[in-house]
Amino acid sequence: MGSMIGIDLGTTNSCVAVLEGDKPTVIVNSDGDRTTPSVVAFTQDGTRLIGVAAKRQAALHPDRTISSIKRSMGSDKRITIDGTSYSPQGISAMILKKLKKDAEAHIGATVTDAVITVPAYFTDAQRQATKDAGTIAGLNVQRIVNEPTAAALAYGLDREENREVMVFDLGGGTFDVSILSITSGLIEVIATAGDNHLGGDDFDAALVEHVVKTFKKQEHINLRKDAAAIQRVTEACEQAKKELSQSDRTTINLPYIATAHNHPVHLEMDITRQEFESLCAPLIERTMQPCRQALSDANVDPHALGRVLMVGGSSRIPAVQNAVKDLTGQEPSHSINPDESVAMGACLQAGVLSGSVGGLILLDVTPMSLGVEVKGNKTSIVIPRNSSIPTKHSEIYTTASPLQTMVEINVLQGESQRASENTSLGTFRLSGIKRSMQPQIEVTFELDTNGIVHVTACDKATGSSADITITGSSNLSDSEIKHAQHALESGE
Ligand code: AMP
């Protein structure tokens, strides 16, 4: 086995770390930065740009730039540029390949294996898509680890005394909160909740909306009609947001943002932290509900938490920190760079798997309940949410009517009692069931350490089980992965 790396494949930024001795070290990329924007762009002459170069040209070519692809992982979305269609896995693989290359340049050796993190709230399809992206990038993905768990490892919480810890992770596009229990070096995720569509991008969008509206009022120009202008405003708003984490006010300055009557129009706008905070108050409130849910699922009083870790770039926003402080009654910890702790933890987990780091056990839970659809649009849960993984559980079902020889099994993920309100991971058929008044069908769910689901069904009377594999419609087949690998290599 070659070297193994830990990767935080983020919505906005990604980060890669490697063990030096038994210490995780964040790798500086070929641009001299410790994180790499998760952005891919295709120039008109066919060159592929990844990272800061792609982000830089986004303003000029928004239609040729792909960002926040993590939000589409696990979906069947395709992005077509110059007649070529790309899957979210294929785009993520381009980012992973760059991280792999940067790591190889740093180590001076080939990297073959990786541990990649995902938000704890990611569904099966999203985890599988992440694993596929790693495979396309030429990595053996040894483990998919939840981001908050990785953060706890980076903080060395496994070496601390027994207690319950909350990890609040607000990144660029996703929000996760987990309650971990630490007992004699064992880290167990006891509850997790979150929002796959909430992060720093939304804070940027709230500020952009405010700037565009104010500018329209002042200048009677709608910047929304100009994609390049909006891209510039978005970048300036992200910068302003970051500055407001340090100071009480900032100025957005964008010369030549538009023209009116053949004259250039400039944008100059003061924003105070207070204004920003009131624009973002609904977003901050949206982070509180999953916190309350995770605490209640874990049966932990917020004031009894041993520690609160702040992870993800957006956890630097003072109003976010204050909200967490109000909820838990304690000062949250952010001594490790919130952009780097997840990659560092992933790399520690890689060290555990390769045997170079000892004395650390990780237990994860499944973030959502898994079950099957039964008569009357109902969900029957086979594995409840927050069960430790890996796990295996079986339930016996019968057919909807007597003498039925075939059943269609709809595998569901989610918390609703109504089947139609949950996510269908896939359906499969078990045929050749022995005719009887009440056939007994055993359905077995198996969840592996990566949180990926395998389901089988068996007719108890005959013992015969159909050959069943769940392949979500968005997942890639082996030949699609090979094709994407080939496309990735030929495009370089
Ligand atoms: P991550 O995905 O963890 O790298 O987080 C990236 C997000 O954090 C982006 O939306 C950034 O704009 C945001 N971010 C980074 N630094 C700061 C800061 N100082 N204040 C507010 N947001 C920040």
Mean pLDDT, contiguous 10-residue spans, the chain (492 residues): 86 94 92 97 94 90 92 93 94 98 95 92 86 96 88 80 90 89 76 89 97 98 93 94 98 97 96 98 97 96 95 95 97 90 94 74 70 94 82 91 91 90 87 91 86 86 73 61 76 62
Position in ligand 1 atom list of the atom nearest CA 174: 2
Q: Which long-range contacts (CB under 8 A, 24 or more apart) does 387-393 make?
A: 387/447, 388/188, 388/363, 388/364, 389/363, 389/364, 389/365, 389/447, 389/448, 389/449, 389/451, 390/446, 390/447, 390/448, 390/449, 391/366, 391/446, 391/447, 392/444, 392/445, 392/446, 392/447, 393/444, 393/445
Lookup: tokens for 448:
């592996």
Ligand 1 atom 16, closest CA: 313
33 tagged catalytic: no
CA 33 / ligand 1 centre spacing (Å): 15
Separation of CA 171 and ligand 1 centre (Å): 6
Question: Is the CB of 171 inside a 6 Å radius of any atom of ligand 1?
Answer: yes
d(CA 216, CA 211): 8
- The conformation of residue 369, written as its DSSP 8-state character, comes to -
Q: Is 169 a catalytic residue?
A: yes
**314 Cα–ligand 1 center, Å:** 4
**Residue 273 falls in which region: left (phi positive, over 0), alpha (psi -120 to 50) or beta:** alpha
Contact indicator for 385, 371 with CB cutoff of 8 Å: no
Alpha carbon 492 to its chain centroid, in Å, reads 26
| Cα–Cα distance for residue pair 201/280, rounded to 1 Å | 12
User: DSSP class of residue 398?
Assistant: -
Q: Which sign, positive or negative, has the C-alpha torsion 139, 141, 146, 148?
A: negative
Q: Whose CA is nearest to atom 18 of ligand 1?
A: 242
Distance of CA 29 from the midpoint of ligand 1 (Å): 18
313 C-alpha vs ligand 1 centroid, how far in Å? Answer: 3
Q: Is the peptide bond before 332 cis (omega within 30 degrees of 0)?
A: no
d(CA 68, CA 95) in angstroms, rounded, equals 12
User: What is the residue with the minimal CA distance to atom 9 of ligand 1?
Assistant: 172
The pair of structure tokens assigned to 480 is 């699609």
The whole-angstrom distance between residue 282's C-alpha and the CA centroid of its chain comes to: 22
3-state helix, strand, coil in the chain (%, to 5): 35, 35, 35
Q: Give strand pairing partners of 423.
A: 413
Rounded distance between C-alpha atoms, residue 365 and residue 261, angstroms:
61
Q: Take atom 19 of ligand 1 and give the residue whose Cα is closest.
A: 242
Q: In the structure, how many helices (H) and strands (E) does the chain have? A: 10, 26
User: Ligand 1: which residue has its CA nearest to atom 1?
Assistant: 171
The residue written with tokens 């009480």 in the block is: 248
Candidate from 12, 29, 208 with most ligand 1 atoms within 8 A of CB, to mutate = 12
What is the C-alpha separation between 8 and 116, in angstroms, rounded?
6
Q: What is the CA radius of gyration of the chain?
A: 24
* 200 pocket-lining for ligand 1 (C-beta < 6 Å): yes
Q: Is the CB of 238 under 6 A from ligand 1?
A: yes
Nearest CA to ligand 1 atom 7: 172
Q: What's the pLDDT score for residue 69?
A: 94
Cβ of 241 less than 6 Å from ligand 1: yes
Q: Is the CB of 314 under 6 A from ligand 1?
A: yes
How confident is the model at residue 34, as a pLDDT?
97
Q: How far apart are CA 338 and CA 224, in angstroms?
A: 33
* Cα 39 to averaged position of ligand 1 atoms, centre (Å): 15
What spacing in Å lies between the alpha carbon of 156 and ligand 1's midpoint?
Answer: 23
Ligand 1 atom with the smallest distance to the CA of 10 is 2
CB of residue 207 inside a 6 A radius of ligand 1: no
CA end-to-end distance (rounded Å), the chain: 25
Asked whether the CA dihedral 4, 104, 8, 314 is positive or negative, the reply is positive
Q: Whose CA is nearest to atom 3 of ligand 1?
A: 312
Q: Taking each helix axis as running N to C, give the angle between helix 88-107 and helix 124-136, from 0 to 180 degrees, rounded to the nearest 10.
A: 50
Pocket test for ligand 1, best of 15, 35, 273, 314 (most atoms within 8 A of CB): 314
Q: Is the CB of 371 under 6 A from ligand 1?
A: no
Strand partners, 161: none
* Options 113, 124, 147, 364, the catalytic residue: 147
Q: How far is the CA of 183 from the centre of ligand 1 (A)?
A: 32
Task: For 224-248, give one letter per residue: b (16+ CB within 10 A) or e.
Answer: eeeeebbbbbbbbbbebbebbbeee
Please give the distance, rounded to the nearest whole angstrom, from the Cα atom of residue 199 to the centre of ligand 1: 9
- 45 has catalytic annotation: no
- In 3D, which of 409, 405, 385, 414 has the Cα closest to residue 397? 409
Q: Which atom of ligand 1 is nearest to the CA of 170?
A: 3
Give CA–CA dist 40/91, Å, rounded.
7
Q: Residue 265 forms beta bridges with which residues?
A: 258
460 is a catalytic site residue: no
Strand-by-strand arrangement of the 40-42 sheet: 48-50, 40-42, 65-66
The response to whether residue 332 sits with its C-beta less than 6 Å from ligand 1 reads no
Among 321, 368, 312, 318, residue whose Cα is nearest residue 343 = 312
At residue 359, the pLDDT reads 59
Ligand 1 centroid from CA 162, angstroms? 31
Q: Which residue among 147, 208, 242 is best mutated to probe the pocket of ligand 1, counting the most ligand atoms within 8 A of its Cβ?
A: 242
Q: Report how far residue 371's alpha carbon sits from residue 303's, in angstroms, rounded to the nearest whole number.
A: 34
CA distance 469 to 452: 12
What atom of ligand 1 comes closest to residue 241's alpha carbon?
21
Q: Extract the tokens encoding 220.
A: 């009677």
CA-angle at 130, arms to 31 and 482, nearest 5°: 90
**Is the Cα torsion angle 203, 208, 210, 211 positive or negative in sign?**
positive
- CA distances 394 to 363, 376, 447, 455, Å, are 21, 21, 12, 10
